[in-house]
């Protein structure tokens, strides 16, 4: 693992916006599903997933079958994780509020859940039941009445049982066996069997990502996720074995995953480099992790913690571990990081699976302006204005002045239409 000074590292990575061919393919799929509905879904599922399906929805029998195929240990761990995720996300729930004035005016903000949310769950070799929990539970806690999942079927036309068990634990009963850009199309436009949703969340391959970008605006989407990342900020008190293991836990995700150590200690830097080599050798996903460490891994040695935090804030990592003597004392120095793990026992997988925080976190430097998935992603707000007669009488002319200044006469006239009535009423009262 290369050891650099902070100034030698810019950490910039590019966003994969796909090839022209991929973009065109996605557009064609979207428009085809929009026009032909389920029949198009059948064709694409046959082409990409090698199975032709009549019904897309997962049946009660399939749920029951899945339940028998997941070990009690995994089920219990998923259930406990779900409880923790519920507990954390419950704290994010916000209330509608109102503010009233003596003048009779009331202003407020109503918070309501979205009506229908669609969760994309990737298929293929790996199945991630933890992602089902992380995406579905915040929607459920927000109060979304209809949460649905789409996920590509295997060649046997089935879904990974752990996905179905996780869905059941999260309370999601409506699951469709459709993947890829065609699933995003179905969720956006609706088909005979799949009703359109208000928001699409969840990760996917480049076709899914491009399709989400394309339909953005017609439906709400969560974010365009990139490969996972971890940055560790460590001083001389940190344990190099822990750091190396945590770096590798993200490196194994994808050959483009980034794993970066920023440390004030040259000794820690060198030990971590050795430990990474040693631990790498033992990993089943060695090739992936090795490529990630080689191409996107780095150890930056900094002069002090200030310089360390500056480097971290430039990187704006998805996951940040702070392994220093007094992590809380320095927490306020973090400007940009999706999720922050403090101390030696907050290994990043604790957050991936169990602690209760969300593991859908902004990647690729977007923690500068984005946030982890939360209940906020499944609500919508409406402003409320109940303006009183007294306030309109007192302030109407100011509103008219502003409207006229902007050349929007009809805006002014909507107000004067009322003000004229007020004047007339007053005259009538006076003349009595």
The whole-angstrom separation of Cα 94 and Cα 46 is: 44
The string of DSSP letters for 295-306 reads HHEEEEE-SSHH
The whole-angstrom separation of Cα 214 and Cα 114 is: 21
What is the nearest approach in angstroms of its own copies to the Cβ of residue 112?
Answer: 7
205 vs 279 by CB, closer to its own copies: 279
Tell me if 330 is assigned to a ligand binding site.
no
The string of DSSP letters for 205-242 reads -HHHHHHHHHHBTTBEE-----S-EEEEEE-TTS-HHH
Q: Which stretch binds its own copies (CB under 8 A): 29-37, 135-143, 150-158, 219-227?
A: 219-227
Q: How far is CA 66 from the centre of its chain?
A: 27
Residues 312-331 that bind its own copies (CB under 8 A): 327-328, 331
Q: Do 174 and 57 touch, CB atoms closer than 8 A?
A: yes
Q: Do 103 and 391 touch, CB atoms closer than 8 A?
A: yes
| Residue choice 21, 54, 73, 430 for contact with its own copies (CB under 8 A) | 73
What is the nearest approach in angstroms of its own copies to the Cβ of residue 357?
Answer: 4
- The reply to whether 319 belongs to the active site is yes
Q: How many CA atoms are closer than 13 Å to the CA of 330, on its beta-carbon side? A: 23
Strands in 227-345 per DSSP E? 229-234, 258-263, 297-301, 319-323, 339-342
Joined together, the tokens standing for residue 223 give 């974010």
Q: Strand 379-386 to strand 106-113: parallel, antiparallel, or no bridges (unpaired)?
A: antiparallel
Residues 361-380 that bind its own copies (CB under 8 A): 361, 366-372, 374, 376, 379-380
The string of DSSP letters for 84-110 reads HHHHHHHTT----EEEE-TTS-EEEEE
What is the nearest approach in angstroms of its own copies to the Cβ of residue 7?
Answer: 20
| Residue choice 127, 137, 172, 298 for contact with its own copies (CB under 8 A) | 127
- The reply to whether 329 belongs to the active site is no
Q: Which stretch binds its own copies (CB under 8 A): 44-52, 78-86, 173-181, 423-431?
A: 78-86
Tell me if 397 is assigned to a ligand binding site.
no
Site string for its own copies, 380-419 (x = CB under 8 A): xxxxxxxxxx-xx--x--xx-xxx-xxxxxxxxxxx-xx-
Tell me if 395 is assigned to a ligand binding site.
no
What is the nearest approach in angstroms of its own copies to the Cβ of residue 42?
Answer: 27
Given 319, 321, 348, 359, which residue is catalytic?
319
Q: Does 284 bind its own copies (CB under 8 A)?
A: yes
Q: Does 349 bind its own copies (CB under 8 A)?
A: yes
Identify which of 55, 185, 75, 175 has the alpha carbon closest to the alpha carbon of residue 119: 175
Burial of 380 by CB count in 10 Å (0-12 exposed, 13-18 middle, 19+ buried)? middle
Q: Which stretch binds its own copies (CB under 8 A): 43-51, 61-69, 294-302, 332-340?
A: 332-340
Tell me if 250 is assigned to a ligand binding site.
yes
Given 252, 290, 318, 321, which residue is catalytic?
318
Q: Which stretch binds its own copies (CB under 8 A): 19-27, 49-57, 127-135, 176-184?
A: 127-135
What is the nearest approach in angstroms of its own copies to the Cβ of residue 130?
Answer: 6
Task: Could you list the residues known to form a binding site, using ranges.
Answer: 120, 182, 205, 228, 250, 253, 319, 352, 406, 411
């Amino acid at each position: 693992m290369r050891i650099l000074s902070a100034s030698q590292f810019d950490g910039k990575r590019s966003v994969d916006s796909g090839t022209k061919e991929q973009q065109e393919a996605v557009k064609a799929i979207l428009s085809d599903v929009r026009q032909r509905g389920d029949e198009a879904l059948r064709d694409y599922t046959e082409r990409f997933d090698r199975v032709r399906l009549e019904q897309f929805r997962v049946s009660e029998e399939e749920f029951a079958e899945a339940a028998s195929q997941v070990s009690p240990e995994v089920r219990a761990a998923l259930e406990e994780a779900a409880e923790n995720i519920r507990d954390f996300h419950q704290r994010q729930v916000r209330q509608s509020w109102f503010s009233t004035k003596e003048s009779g005016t009331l202003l407020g903000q109503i918070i309501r859940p979205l009506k229908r949310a669609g969760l994309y769950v990737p298929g293929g070799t790996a199945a991630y039941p933890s992602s089902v929990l992380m995406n579905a539970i915040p929607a459920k806690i927000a109060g979304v009445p209809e949460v649905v999942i789409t996920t590509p079927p295997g060649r046997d036309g089935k879904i990974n049982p752990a996905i179905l068990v996780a869905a059941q634990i999260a309370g999601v009963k409506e699951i469709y066996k459709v993947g890829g850009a065609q699933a995003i199309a179905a969720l956006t436009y609706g088909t005979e069997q799949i009703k359109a949703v208000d928001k699409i969340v969840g990760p996917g391959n480049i076709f899914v990502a491009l399709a989400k970008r394309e339909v953005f605006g017609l439906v709400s989407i969560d974010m365009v996720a990139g490969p996972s990342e971890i940055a560790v900020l460590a001083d001389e008190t940190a344990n190099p074995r822990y750091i190396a293991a945590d770096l590798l836990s993200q490196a194994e995700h994808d050959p483009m995953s980034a794993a970066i150590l920023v440390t004030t200690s040259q000794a820690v830097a060198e030990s971590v480099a050795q430990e990474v080599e040693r631990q790498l050798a033992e990993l089943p996903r060695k090739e992936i992790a090795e490529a990630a460490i080689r191409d996107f891994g780095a150890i930056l040695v900094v002069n002090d913690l200030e310089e360390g935090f500056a480097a971290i804030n430039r990187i704006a990592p998805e996951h940040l571990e702070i392994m220093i003597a007094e992590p809380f004392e320095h927490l306020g120095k973090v400007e940009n990081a999706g999720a922050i793990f403090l101390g030696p026992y907050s290994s990043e997988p604790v957050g991936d699976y169990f602690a209760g925080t969300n593991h859908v976190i902004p990647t690729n430097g977007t923690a500068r302006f984005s946030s982890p998935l939360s209940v906020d992603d499944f609500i919508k707000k409406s402003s409320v204005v109940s303006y009183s007669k007294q306030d309109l009488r007192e302030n109407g002319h100011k509103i008219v002045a502003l409207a006229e200044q902007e050349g929007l006469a009809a805006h002014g006239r909507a107000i004067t239409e009322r003000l004229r009535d007020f004047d007339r009423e007053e005259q009538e009262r006076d003349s009595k």
